[in-house]
């Protein structure tokens, strides 16, 4: 593995068993005294309660599966999908200020692969407490699919139940897919993830 530092960016180069180079980048985060520090190690999120509600930042992994037992459950007819990626949720005064998820989804037979980026629209959050201590946020979000097509203002419900995230995508199916098969597959489904500890 080789490492190259350019200003506040570190680039790491390595290769896999078959010799294909892999690169990853990591920003060095300056601390409050303008000195640079190493990127923080994963730790539990900071949560504060005061004022009018909770304030916290959570981030983690998407790991989910969309099952299609028959073609009516999955309008693309391509079969089951596995999803993997990352997400982040920022809550300020019990309102979801920012929710972002970036994940890939592919059919289990390998015939279809897509990238999906979900980002909430500012000022669209409604917070609800549920039985058992879970907290749910109703949002509107844009879904960017394969960096080419955006499905705008999609209703999503983000629920945190302990360290488990669930994201219901247009559960009432009110948003038009505009012929996008990837969105038609996601619409009405729930995506799951976990908090990175």
pLDDT digits (tens, 9 = 90+) for 30-42: 444 444 444 443 3
Report yes or no: 116 and 186 within 8 Å, Cβ to Cβ.
Answer: yes
- Mean per-residue pLDDT, 164-181: 87
Report yes or no: 104 and 112 within 8 Å, Cβ to Cβ.
Answer: no
Report yes or no: 193 and 64 within 8 Å, Cβ to Cβ.
Answer: yes
Among the listed residues 87, 96, 24, the one whose alpha carbon sits nearest the alpha carbon of residue 56: 96
- Mean per-residue pLDDT, 125-154: 90
> What is the share, in percent, of the chain residues with pLDDT greater than 70?
68
CB-based contacts of 53, cutoff 8 Å, min separation 6: 93, 94, 95, 127
3-state SS of the chain is CEEEEECCEEEEEEECCCCCEEEEEEECEECCCCCEECCCCCCCCCEEEECCEEEEEEEEEEEEEECCCCCCCCCCCCCCEEEEEEEEEEEECCEEEEEEEEEEEEECCCCCEEEEEEEECCCCCEEEECHHHCEEEEEEEEEEECCCEEEEEEEEEEEEECCEEEEEECCCCCCCCCCCHHHHHHCCCEEEEEECC
Q: Is the overall model pTM greater than 0.75, yes or no?
A: no
pLDDT digits (tens, 9 = 90+) for 89-132: 999 888 899 999 999 999 999 999 999 999 999 888 888 887 77
Q: How far does Cα 49 stand from its chain's mean position?
A: 25
Quick one: pLDDT at residue 13?
47
Quick one: pLDDT at residue 57?
93
Query: Would you state the structure tokens that stand for residue 89, as one six-digit string?
Result: 């949720």
Cα separation, 116 vs 180, whole angstroms: 12
Phi/psi for 60 (5° steps) reads -175, -155
Tell me the CA distances in angstroms from 138 to 28, 75, 105, 128, 135, one per residue in order.
Answer: 34, 25, 23, 8, 10
pLDDT digits (tens, 9 = 90+) for 47-89: 444 445 678 999 999 999 998 754 444 455 567 999 999 999 9
- What is the residue extent of each domain of the chain? 2-37, 47-195
CB-based contacts of 75, cutoff 8 Å, min separation 6: 181, 184, 185
């Amino acid at each position: 593995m080789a490492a190259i530092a350019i200003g506040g960016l570190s680039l790491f180069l390595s290769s896999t068993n078959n010799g294909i180079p892999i690169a990853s980048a990591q920003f060095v985060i300056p601390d409050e005294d303008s000195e640079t520090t190493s990127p923080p190690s994963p730790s539990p999120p900071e949560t504060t309660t005061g004022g009018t509600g909770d304030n916290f930042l959570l981030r983690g992994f998407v790991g989910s599966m969309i099952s299609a037992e028959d073609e009516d459950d999955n309008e693309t007819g391509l079969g089951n999908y596995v999803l993997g990626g990352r997400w982040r949720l920022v809550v300020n005064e019990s309102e979801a200020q920012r929710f972002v998820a970036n994940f890939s989804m592919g059919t289990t037979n390998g015939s279809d692969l897509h990238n999906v980026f979900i980002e909430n629209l500012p000022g669209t959050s409604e917070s609800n407490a549920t039985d058992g201590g879970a907290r749910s946020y109703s949002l509107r979000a844009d879904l960017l699919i394969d960096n080419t097509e955006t499905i705008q203002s999609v209703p999503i419900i983000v629920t945190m139940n302990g360290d488990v995230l669930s994201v219901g995508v247009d559960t009432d199916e009110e948003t038009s897919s505009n012929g996008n098969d990837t969105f038609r597959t996601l619409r009405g489904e729930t995506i799951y993830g976990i908090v990175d500890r």
